[in-house]
Amino acid sequence: MSHTFHIPVLGLGYSIDTPLKVARYGISSVISIVDDELIERMREFHSQDQADYQPIKHSEYDYRAKRITAYLNLLDELISRQHNEMTDQPFLPGQDITKYFELLPDDSPKSILYKEMLSETLLEKRIALEKILRKSIKKGAIDVNIMAKVDKTNYDKQGNPCDDNFSDALASLRGFANSRLSSSVTLSAGMSPRLYSYIG
C-alpha cells in the first residue's frame, strides 16, 4: 500500500501543475487538460531551458492536441528528473527522500521497512535496507480530467466550423493519448455523445 488518497482536479487551472509538487512523493493528482491556452503558457513557464522552448502556434495543424501532448510530456520529464535526484539523496532530515517515507501511512509496508532501517544499528544491514527502500520509490500518477460539457466546436480563420475531431474535448483526449503518460482519464461535467463516440 502506498497513499490512500489522491488530489482531485481543482477547476481548469488550480491544479494545472500539481504533479510537479507532489508526484515525487508518490501522490497522484488530476489536472484539467481542456484549456490549451493555459497549458501552453504553463509549458513555457516550466521549461527550465527557455532556449529549448518552441511555441506551438495556432497556425499549426492540430495545435490544441500538440500543446497538450507537449505539456504532459514536459511534466513527465521534470517529474522523472525529480524522482532520479531524490533516489540518490541520503536519508537525512529535510531531504525529499525522507519526506517521501514520512508521508506514507503508518501501516504501509514501505513505512514499516523505513522505520526498521532507521532503527538498524548494523551498518551493513542498514545499507541493504536503504537499497531496498530506494528501489521501492514510485512516482505518483499524472491523471487527467476532461470536462465533457466543455466541448465547443472550433472555427477556422475563414469562420467555417472545423471537423468534430478538432473540438476542445476531442483534441484534449487526443493530446493525452499521444503523450508518454500511461495514467487515467476522468470525464466529468455532463454528456458529450461525440466524445464518447470518439473513444469507442
Dump pLDDT digits (tens) for 32-55.
998 999 999 999 999 976 667 899
Confidence of residue 154 (pLDDT cuts 50, 70, 90): low
Give the per-residue pLDDT at 188: 82
| The Cα angle at residue 25 between residues 104 and 91, in degrees rounded to 5 | 80
Parse the chain into domains and list their residue ranges: 18-84+140-199, 91-136
Give the per-residue pLDDT at 98: 97
Q: How far apart are CA 178 and CA 180, in angstroms?
A: 7
Cβ count within 10 A of residue 48: 10
**75 near 16, Cβ under 8 Å?**
no
Give the per-residue pLDDT at 200: 66
**67 near 61, Cβ under 8 Å?**
no
Give the per-residue pLDDT at 5: 81
Cβ count within 10 A of residue 109: 12
Give the per-residue pLDDT at 53: 87
pLDDT digits (tens, 9 = 90+) for 84-142: 999 999 999 999 999 999 999 999 999 999 999 999 999 999 999 999 999 999 999 99
Q: How many CA atoms lie less than 13 Å away from 37 in the CB half-sphere?
A: 0
Average pLDDT value for residue range 154-166? 63
pLDDT digits (tens, 9 = 90+) for 64-83: 999 999 999 999 999 999 99
Asked which of 92-101, 117-126, 157-166, 185-194 is least confident by mean pLDDT, the reply is 157-166
Instruction: Copy the grid coordinates of residue 197.
Output: 463516440
Average pLDDT value for residue range 173-188? 93
